[in-house]
Amino acid sequence: MGKIAFLFSGQGAQYSGMGRELTKHSSSVAALFALADRIRPGTSAQCFSGSQEELTETKNTQPCLFCVDLAAALALEESGVRADGAAGFSLGEMAALTFAGMLEQKTGFSLVCRRAVLMDEAARQTDSAMAAVLKLEHKTVEELCRRFAHLYPVNYNCPGQLVVAGLRQEIEEMKPLVKKAGGRMVPLAVSGGFHSPFMDGAAKEFAKELEKVCFQPARIPVYANLTARPYAESEPKELLAQQMKNPVRWEQTLRRMAEDGFDTFIEVGPGKTLTGLVSKTLPDARAFHVEDAETLEITRKAVLES
């Protein structure tokens, strides 16, 4: 068997009740949520019983997802499944870096809280949104985006799936063009146009926050959204700030990980979005997800007993 990668979920996968079962399964998970509540009171309540509307607000989404992503990874590791490397989708990258030991839990969570506020504030300055364009080649979507003043290809998810960010009106105007080209558009449950120039101001402010942080060497390689290769020790501050306003090269990241010997990918966190992207990008790879006690046990057995 090849290497095992943990993949940390990003925004859009959140739902009310996420993470609740994992706190009962693991003392380290319970401690993580207790830490989050000390720093940001009400975090666990939002995860376990918050409304979908509440969880879709970026200032809430990111701290909650960070906790659930990291909780699933901790529970999986405690069950005996060890990661040889990691990657996280957008916000998930912060959880991946924390899991890999580059950030302490307290520091990672505090940074995510600040990141969430900055991105939420930036999103409120314009009526922007995101939508996934399906069934078209990336170059076709890129060409369509160039017809608009404020529409950008931002998340290269997998073959035939590229997310665009832009003014909500321009996204609406793009829909008939996508349909004419043979594709379709699906709106994302996020509150703004992330990974685009709309986030320039937020990225600059986050860079100031990162300057105050001391990053530690990673215990496992973490592949960066911006470069699709493992972080070097000198890179975290620059890459994490730039990541906020630049495309997530997820398809390229998965292909690079496969080239580096990874053949088992386990999504940690709510939903199965990344699991599906693995299957579409690397059809010969094994893909699992862990978000509760049931999926934890299924994945443990499949990985350790195969």
Active site residues: 90, 195
Q: Contact, 157 vs 115, CB < 8 A?
A: no
Which own/partner contact pairs does 99-103 have at CB distance under 8 Å and 24+ positions apart? Answer: 99/6, 99/8, 99/70, 99/73, 99/74, 100/218, 100/219, 100/220, 100/221, 100/222, 101/216, 101/217, 101/218, 101/219, 102/215, 102/216, 102/217, 102/218, 102/222, 102/231, 102/236, 103/213, 103/215, 103/216
- Give the integer Cα–Cα distance in Å for 262 and 256: 9
CA distance 112 to 224: 16
Complete edge-to-edge strand list for the sheet that includes strand 151-158: 151-158, 161-167, 128-134, 184-187
Strand order, beta sheet including 85-88:
222-223, 85-88, 3-8, 262-268, 286-290
